[in-house]
Every structure is written in structure tokens, then in C-alpha cells.
Structure 1
Amino acid sequence: MLRIKRTAAVTMAFLSVALGGAVAGATTAQAAVPAKFPRVHCSTTKIEVRSLDVAGGPVKCGGALGDPLYCTINGVDHVFAVGTDNAMWARWISPSGVPSDWVSFGGSLTSEIRLYADGSGSLDFSARWSDGHLYEITRNDNGSWINWRRVD
């Protein structure tokens, strides 16, 4: 599998994340050169940081939990982040431009979310959990999800 490396970093402790625009309100930011793979485009350049209170509370950005991850999957913009409850949260914008509510994928994450793609259309998201082990959750090419499982 190919590991998609994020090419921009935003250093912040606790902020809420919404889709759209450019990184705003960042104390430290680097310009991004997005990595492109078949059907997947990932960067942090289209994450807008706002002081919103979303379902699940504020989102941790930077620090020990890493940056939020922005992806376009089959033309739909997504953002994945670790919430203050240490679960993986996601939000997306429909093709008609309507943003979804934040959705929790659970977990007990203690690291940033990493994305892997093999070109088949399936995406594997991995993160280290509070028990010290690496876990992975998969989004199939049809949009269904395979729940978290330990991979180390």
C-alpha cells in the first residue's frame, strides 16, 4: 500500500475544524503541495479552522494528535480529525454543497490519523490507540466501512 504523506502542518492545541476555504487562524503553517493518487487527493490546505462547537466538541489539531486530514474521495470533500473524546470524527460536503453533520467513528486515538490507498478505491485510516497498539479502519470503494481492528 502507498502511504499518503501530508505536506502541510498546522500547530494548534484545541480548535474546531470545518470544511472549506484555507487554513485560517493558524499560529504556524507551511505551504502545502498536495499528494495525488488515483481517486484520492489529500492535503491540509482546504481546512478552515473556526471557533465552532461541533457535535463531539472541539477538535484537537496539531500536538500529539497531529493535524486534521482533508481528502477528496470520488469528488466529495471530507475532513477527518481526532476529537477531544479521542475518537476519529469525519465531515463531508455533498456534491450539492451541503455539509454533513460530524460523524464519530469511535476509537481511543493517541496519534494523528494516517491514510493509506492502494489505488483500488478503498482507503485505510490508521492511528495508534491508548493501549499502544496500531488500529485501522477501512472505507471500501462503495462507501461502506469495515470497523476498527488491531493491525500490529
Structure 2
Amino acid sequence: MAVYSKILLAVDLSEESDQLIEKTRAIAQNNQASVTVLHVIEPLSFAYGGDVPMDLTTVQNQLDEHARTKLSVFSEKLNYPVESQQVITGHTESEIHHMAEEKGCDLIVVGSHGRHGLALLLGSTANSVLHGAPCDVLAIRVYEPEK
């Protein structure tokens, strides 16, 4: 019996996202699980407190298209059948929770930067996803590339 049948892999599409591939693929293969890959784009209005004196629709659409292209490339690197690729605009943690519920996922995989000090006190995406998740969450430690 498979422990996990539906996996949601939530990625930020940074260079560190590639570090999630090997472990996610191994879990998916061992469980013959379906995989949905998700990237959430926070609306530009969030960055400016919602008070933007101009229409950002064109810029937001360009960000969406760029993310879809990067997500497609990322999904190919996974080298495992991807049931669905999703680019959604919204609040990251709530969109991850919503997608996991919508797809009936029993595992969410996210990257964790293992922050310390003030960043730890302020929380992280992985920590926020864990709290309120409708299923198990695997936070895989990712490391910034050496410069």
C-alpha cells in the first residue's frame, strides 16, 4: 500500500528549487503517486500595500507567462510524469493549502531555507504551509548556491 498517492510540489522557481527534485521524484516513484507542481506569484499590489496608482495588469501577465515557462522547464527536470502544472496568483501559503485540498493531496513538499535569528522569528513559507495544511508537509532543507 502506498503511503502517499497525490503529491503537491510547491516551488518558488529559484535556483534552490532544483534541490527538491531528487527527493520528490524518489517519494513519487516509491508510492506511484501523481505529482502536481505549483508556483504561486504574490500580486504586485501586495508588495506596494495595495496602493498602486497605476494598472499593473500587463506586468502581472508578463510575470505569469515567465513563471509558466520556468515551471515547464522545472517539471521536465523532475523526470517523472507531472499530472498538473499550476501558476496561481495570490497569497502563497493559502494558495498552497487551497490547491492541496482541491487536488486531494496527501503530501505537500516545500523547500526550507533553515533561517536563523530575525528571519526565523518572522516565519517562513515552509513554516506557514505546515500550519493549517490539510495533509502531511515535507520541508526539504535547501542551501543557497556558493558564490
| Alignment TM-score, normalising by the size of structure 1 | 0.27
* Structure that is richer in strand per residue: 1
Larger RCO (CA under 8 A, 6+ residues apart): 2
* Structure that is richer in helix per residue: 2
